[in-house]
Amino acid sequence: MKMPAVLARNVIYPLQERAFKRPTFSYLAELEKSQWLSRAGVEALQLEKLRSLLQVAHAHCPWHRQRMDAAGLSPENLSSLADLARLPRMDKQDAAANRENLVWRDVPGGAFQYNTGGSSGKPLIFHFGRTRQASDAAGRMRARRWWGVEVGEPEVYLWGAPVELNKTDWVKTVRDRLINQLVLNAFAMSPTSMDAYLDAMEAFHPRCVYGYASSLALLAAHAKERGRRPRLPELKVVCATGEPLYTHQRELIGEVFGVPVANEFGSRDIGFTAHETPQGQVLLMSESILLEVLDEAGNPVAPGEMGEAVMTGLCSEAQPFIRYRSGDMVRLAPEPDHDGRGLHVIGEVVGRSTDFLVREDGTIMHALAGIYVLRATEGLAEFKLIQHSTQDIEVLAVPNARWNDHAVLSIKAGLRQRLGDSVRIAVKLVDTIPPEASGKHRYVVSHVRLGGELDSATRKE
């Protein structure tokens, strides 16, 4: 079932957002105009939004108020974006330890609890509001338009969900289809299911395919092994998100699906952050995100140099993220957007990578299938999951003050539900989790070979 795109765009989608009290379409209209401001105009808009966010934080979030007062920073004396540097940076530990003093529960539209994806190995429970939701949705809508994909036109999502694999959220499924979105399960990619996914995509005639970078590459590799080129005559772009997109993956996906591949950058706690344009540039969602790129001492790096991404979510009123250390390394490009937008241009992002998990029956699951179990475990400050074989899983766990003996049982039960009742699971409590020999942090590591094109597609380089 597909809706006429004009009906989905002008009636069903707006009604849904209005019912959820999300100002998505009004924000989209603002974004379509503000992207064409000069860089100075964009930064003036950021300063205006930053003042509003600081007012909210000071009035409703005791932890932020205490830090602002100590730094002598107030919305009234904020004269430039550089003044924000007077405030100390915050990190995931700060957000986790001070949650109750960070959340504005009476924010208009309500505050909703959520979890980070956990791909950093440090899961975080946080809250977001309707404005943040609208920012994410409207930002993606605008980015799709850069590629000629209009709101309400058919999109396929290769995605996962933090629910048991044998359950179906039929309400969400119906809602997705009413706005022309088809969701395929990235947590159950057996050869049979991937054949079915390709069939479903051909029947759906999407204008855009969106998913985890590694899952898209895996599906493309499977199609190539089958000697199959999906017949998708209306497809404009494949959008990859959630993890690094490697050059060989981009080439493979583009070869199999026959369209350009666009990279997306974002996180659950900060939200939709940046998207690639047809010109090959990655543009920051500057109206919603204030990005600082800093060296180890916390000072701004020179233009074009790599540094730590420290972000302020300008739409994060429900739980303000102000000067938040995201854990990513980025480089801002010195050149402007080639099409004349005033949005900031990101030259490079160095994110985190994870491996696939493999069930004994050969079903391939995105790493988030295991991460969802671990991030939901109370008392787990940090983790690393290692799959030694389809029958042997090792979990390194750094506990926090909320840890209890039930956590081990919860981890084992959750992972067996995903990977099978016969899998052996060892949970080891540790004080710290060191990086790999390469110096990189990998939070799901699998030593199970996929074989053939599938191994090549999921190579982490």
pLDDT tens for 414-428 read: 999 988 899 999 999
Structure tokens at 224: 């190539």
Structure tokens at 336: 């402007």
CATH of the structural domain 148-259, one choice from 3.30.460.10, 3.40.50.720, 3.40.50.150, 3.40.50.980: 3.40.50.980
Sign of CA dihedral 277, 48, 335, 83: negative
The answer to which of 52-56, 141-145, 349-353 has the lowest mean pLDDT is 349-353
Type of residue found at 71: A
Flag whether pLDDT at 442 surpasses 80: no
pLDDT tens for 239-251 read: 999 888 888 889 9
Q: 5-133+269-276+280-350 and 148-259: same fold?
A: yes
pLDDT tens for 22-55 read: 999 999 999 999 999 999 999 999 999 999 999 9
pLDDT at 165: 39
The answer to which of 156-170, 189-203, 292-306, 425-439 has the lowest mean pLDDT is 156-170
Q: How far apart are CA 301 and CA 332, in angstroms?
A: 10
User: For the chain, what is the mean pLDDT?
Assistant: 88
Flag whether pLDDT at 97 surpasses 60: yes
pLDDT tens for 233-285 read: 999 999 999 888 888 889 999 999 999 999 999 888 889 999 999 999 999 99
CATH of the structural domain 357-457, one choice from 3.30.300.30, 3.40.640.10, 3.30.465.10, 3.30.420.110: 3.30.300.30
Q: State what percent of residues in the chain have pLDDT above 90.
A: 55
In sequence order, what are the residues at sequence separation of 6 or more whose Cβ sits closer than 8 angstroms to the Cβ of residue 297? Answer: none
Q: State what percent of residues in the chain have pLDDT above 70.
A: 91
* CATH entry 3.30.460.10 includes domain 5-133+269-276+280-350: no
Type of residue found at 113: Q
Write the secondary structure of the chain as one string of H (helix), E (strand) and C (coil).
Answer: CCCCHHHHHHHHHHHHHHHCCCCHHHHHHHHHHHCCCCHHHHHHHHHHHHHHHHHHHHHHCHHHHHHHHHHCCCHHHCCCHHHHHHCCCECHHHHHHCHHHCCCCCCCCCCEEEECCCCCCCCCEEEECHHHHHHHHHHHHHHHHHCCCCCCCCEEEEECCCCCCCCCCHHHHHHHHHCCEEEEECCCECHHHHHHHHHHHHHHCCCEEEEEHHHHHHHHHHHHHCCCCCCCCCCCEEEEECCCCCHHHHHHHHHHHCCCEEEEEEECCCEEEEEECCCCCEEECCCCEEEEEECCCCCECCCCCEEEEEEEECCCCCCCCCCEEEEEEEEECCCCCCCCCCCCEEEEEECCECCCEECCCCCEECCHHHHHHHHCCCCEEEEEEEEEECCEEEEEEEECCCCCCHHHHHHHHHHHHHHCCCCEEEEEECCCCCCCCCCCCECEEECCCCCHHHHHHCCCC
Whether this prediction's pTM lies above 0.85 is answered by no
Please give the backbone phi and psi of residue 449, each rounded to the nearest 5 degrees, phi first.
Answer: -80, 140
Q: Contact, 240 vs 263, CB < 8 A?
A: yes
pLDDT at 71: 95
Q: How far apart are CA 293 and CA 282, in angstroms?
A: 15
pLDDT band at 435 (very low <50, low <70, confident <90, very high): low
pLDDT tens for 48-86 read: 999 999 999 999 999 999 999 999 999 988 999 999 999
Q: Where are the chain's structural domains?
A: 5-133+269-276+280-350, 148-259, 357-457
